[in-house]
Amino acid sequence: MRSLHVAYCAVCELHTMTKSDPRYHRVLVWDFPTRVFHWLLVAATSVAFITGSILPQWWLGVHRGAGYVIVGLLVFRFVWAAFGSEFSRLTNFVYSPSETLDHLRGILLLSPRHYLGHNPAGAAMIFALAFVLCGLVVTGLLTEAGEEKIGPLAGITSYAVGHTAKTIHAILVGILAVMIAAHVAGVIAESLLTRENLVASMITGRKALPERAHLPAPRPPRWRAASASCVVVIGVGALTLALLGRLPPKGVPAAAVNAAYARECGACHSAFHPSLLPAASWQKMLGTLDQHFGEDASLPAPVLAEIAEFLATHAAEAWDTEIGIRFRTVTANGPPQITATPAWLRKHAPLPEAWFARKSVGSKSNCSACHRDAASGRFDDSKIFVPKE
Return residues touching ligand HEC (CB under 6 A). 264-265, 267-269, 272, 276, 285, 289, 292-293, 295, 297, 307, 323, 337-339, 344, 347-348, 351, 355-356, 361, 363-367, 369-371, 379, 381, 384, 386
Instruction: Tell me the closest approach of the beta carbon of residue 385 to ligand HEC, in angstroms.
Output: 9
Distance (Å, whole) CA 127 – CA 77: 12
Distance (Å, whole) CA 110 – CA 105: 8
Q: Which residues contact 14 (CB under 8 A, 6 or more apart)?
A: 114, 194, 195, 196, 208, 210
Instruction: Tell me the closest approach of the beta carbon of residue 63 to ligand HEC, in angstroms.
Output: 16
Q: Which is nearer to ligand HEC, 188 or 303 (CB)?
A: 303
Instruction: Tell me the closest approach of the beta carbon of residue 259 to ligand HEC, in angstroms.
Output: 13
Distance (Å, whole) CA 304 – CA 309: 9
Amino acid (1-letter code) at residue 276: L
Distance (Å, whole) CA 141 – CA 165: 9
Residue 272, CA distances (Å) to 23, 63, 230, 314 in order: 80, 32, 49, 12
Q: Which is nearer to ligand HEC, 118 or 371 (CB)?
A: 371
Instruction: Tell me the closest approach of the beta carbon of residue 338 to ligand HEC, in angstroms.
Output: 3
Q: Which is nearer to ligand HEC, 214 or 359 (CB)?
A: 359
Instruction: Tell me the closest approach of the beta carbon of residue 273 to ligand HEC, in angstroms.
Output: 7
Please count the other Cβ atoms lying within 10 Å of the Cβ belonging to residue 121: 22
Instruction: Tell me the closest approach of the beta carbon of residue 162 to ligand HEC, in angstroms.
Output: 13
Q: Which is nearer to ligand HEC, 248 or 287 (CB)?
A: 287
Q: Which is nearer to ligand HEC, 87 or 327 (CB)?
A: 327
Q: Which is nearer to ligand HEC, 2 or 388 (CB)?
A: 388
Instruction: Tell me the closest approach of the beta carbon of residue 277 to ligand HEC, in angstroms.
Output: 6
Distance (Å, whole) CA 361 – CA 354: 10
Least Cα distance to 280 among 311, 310, 320 occurs for 311
Please count the other Cβ atoms lying within 10 Å of the Cβ belonging to residue 263: 12
Beta carbons of 363 and 356 less than 8 angstroms apart = yes
Q: Which is nearer to ligand HEC, 178 or 305 (CB)?
A: 305
